[in-house]
Amino acid sequence: MEGRFVRIEVAGDSEALREQAAAEAFEAGALGVEERDGPPPVLWIYANAADAGPLLGALAQLAGLRVGAPEALPDTAWSEAWKEGLEAIVISPRLVVRPSFAPAPAGFAGAELVIEPGQAFGTGGHASTRLALEAIEGLPAAALAGARVLDVGCGTGVLSLAALALGAASATGCDVDPLATAAAREAAAANGLGKRFALYTGSLAALGPRAAGAFDVVVANLLRRELEPLLAAIARACRPGGHVILSGLLESERERVEPRLDALGARVVAVRCFSDATGDGWLSILGLRSLR
Ligand code: SAH
């Protein structure tokens, strides 16, 4: 195969299948994955030409995935192509999240978080991250000022870093993926927020009983199946009168999650919705932990 880099286009009918394909691709040595809005939505997987064989083998294991033939890319196309579509994301006049190569809009005077796109999830572009960022940004000033934040499934740490940039005192992030905590550590340092952001690789349970009521704001941007087993611990970690922000849910899952959160002592006070380009409707839920 000619060229040092290849691009492989894959299509899968569900977002879950495409996410799985992206994860498998990275596992098999892909250098980058780009989501392309459809129809139909597809992934462009970039890799060294030498890795194309194993990569195709790994993708072939996923039932229902349609995998195109590797296309050789000139070096210059690769070095720019992955930046396409990655731009500064203005969450509000107070906050922009951007990769280092994409400037904030002219005249922007708020806080700028620089998050490099890499292997960990959370550059601000995904609907669920965006909804969580908006929920953090929308917290009453008194709720965020000086807050201790817990970020469950922190990915690149974007949610914690946003909370810190907007006035929180400290954040604790955990993620089961060591690549995520490594990326978060780097992002924290790059944004000068490393001293206020504690990170560990593992799930929430590792914090143990001392987590109970220890946080003013708890954020978790997780898929429903990841979230549900953690929901009770998430609610418990939030102090009475504190806020719980859940994102990563689909609109159709609202009826199932909202009553559970309520039963755990966090009354739902706001719900945000956002439809992404593929038509999936995402949801974030803001709960206020009761004082009792
Ligand atoms: N907070 C980031 C990333 C969200 S993606 C953002 O909002 O953009 C969800 C992350 O949760 C992934 O990095 C995944 O590895 C992690 N995760 C999944 N289950 C988890 C669990 N039980 N405990 C901790 N992290 C988990």
In this predicted model, what pLDDT tens digit does every residue of 44-89 receive, in sequence order? Answer: 999 988 899 999 999 999 999 999 999 988 766 655 666 666 789 9
pLDDT for the residue 286: 97
Give the residue carrying structure tokens 């998430």.
Answer: 234
CA dist 129 and 160 (Å) reads 11
- Ligand 1 centroid to 106 CA: how many Å? 33
CA of 6 to the centre of ligand 1 (A): 29
Over range 161-182, report the average pLDDT: 96
Indicate whether 129 pLDDT > 50: yes
Residues 6+ apart with CB under 8 A from 40: 11, 13
Q: What's 111's DSSP letter?
A: E
Q: Is the pLDDT of residue 187 over 60?
A: yes
Nearest-CA residue for atom 23 of ligand 1: 203
Give CA–CA dist 7/5, Å, rounded: 7
- Chain centroid, CA 76 distance in Å: 29
Confidence check: pLDDT of 231 > 50: yes
Specify the length of the chain in residues.
292
Q: Decide if pLDDT at 36 tops 90.
A: no
Q: How far is CA 191 from CA 4, 86, 132, 163, 187, in A?
A: 33, 19, 19, 13, 6
Question: What is the pTM assigned to this prediction?
Answer: 0.77
Question: pLDDT exceeding 90 applies to what percent of the chain?
Answer: 73
Q: Taking CB atoms and a 6 Å cutoff, what residues make up the pocket around ligand 1?
A: 121-122, 129, 132, 152-155, 158-159, 174-177, 180, 203-204, 221-222, 226, 230
pLDDT of residue 190: 96
Angstrom CA distances, 77 to 1, 26, 81, stand at 17, 20, 6
Summarize the confidence of residues 153-173 as an average pLDDT.
97
- The 3-state DSSP class for residue 240 equals strand
In this predicted structure, what is the pLDDT of residue 5? 85
Reported as type and span, the H/E element at residue 281 is strand 281-289
Lowest mean pLDDT among 11-25, 145-159, 161-175, 194-208: 11-25
* Out of 14-28, 70-84, 248-262, least confident range: 70-84
pLDDT at 13: 86
Mean pLDDT of 223-246: 96
What distance in angstroms lies between residue 59's CA and the mean position of ligand 1's atoms? 23
Name the β-bridge partners of 152. 174, 220
pLDDT of residue 1: 41
What mean pLDDT is reported for the chain? 91
Which residue in 14, 40, 10 sits closest to 28, CA to CA? 10
DSSP state of 143: H
Structure tokens at 110: 């708020």
